[in-house]
Amino acid sequence: MIKKFGISIQDTLLEEFDQFIKQKGYKSRSKAIRDLIIEKLTEQKEIDLQTEVFFIIATLIDPKTKFYQKIIETMKEYENLTIFSSHFSFKGNIIFIFIGTGNFQEFVKFRDRLCSIKEVKLLKEIILTI
């Protein structure tokens, strides 16, 4: 059974997504979103939750907001991941970089917590199993 749901998305991001799905040959946004979700879930299933990982996360954050406190709180919440962080300004945005090690399950929770912060506009990750 297929369920329908709504997504709120910025105009510019939707335009980029429409270009992406056109380049990939998708006939609908729904199919493209379904495939991206399946791809992401499959990637996560391939790594055992207790596996030690090395990770790098890059986030793009809107500088007009008060995000520092949320980032600091999140890092304290996941201090067991041995996290190093740095940030810099780029094209009117703030790029925050997180580097760390820990088990995959804790990494997923940390990453998901970062994604839940409203001011985070984009998040990319690199994961290496140790």
- Whole-prediction pTM value? 0.66
Q: Please give the CATH superfamily to which domain 52-129 belongs.
A: ACT-like. Chain A, domain 2 (3.30.70.1150)
Q: Identify the bridge partners of residue 126 per DSSP, sorted by sequence position.
A: 56
Q: Where are the domains of the chain?
A: 11-45, 52-129
Task: Give the residue ranges of the chain where pLDDT is below 70.
Answer: 42, 44-45, 130
Nearest to 82 by CA among 118, 35, 130, 46: 130
- For the chain, the farthest-separated pair of C-alpha atoms sits apart, in whole angstroms, at 45
pLDDT attached to residue 75 = 87
pLDDT attached to residue 44 = 66
pLDDT digits (tens, 9 = 90+) for 95-120: 999 999 999 889 999 999 998 888 88
Tell me the C-alpha distance between 53 and 127, whole Å: 6
pLDDT attached to residue 34 = 86
pLDDT attached to residue 99 = 95
For the four alpha carbons of 82, 88, 91 and 94, in that order, the dihedral sign comes to positive
pLDDT attached to residue 124 = 92
pLDDT attached to residue 45 = 67
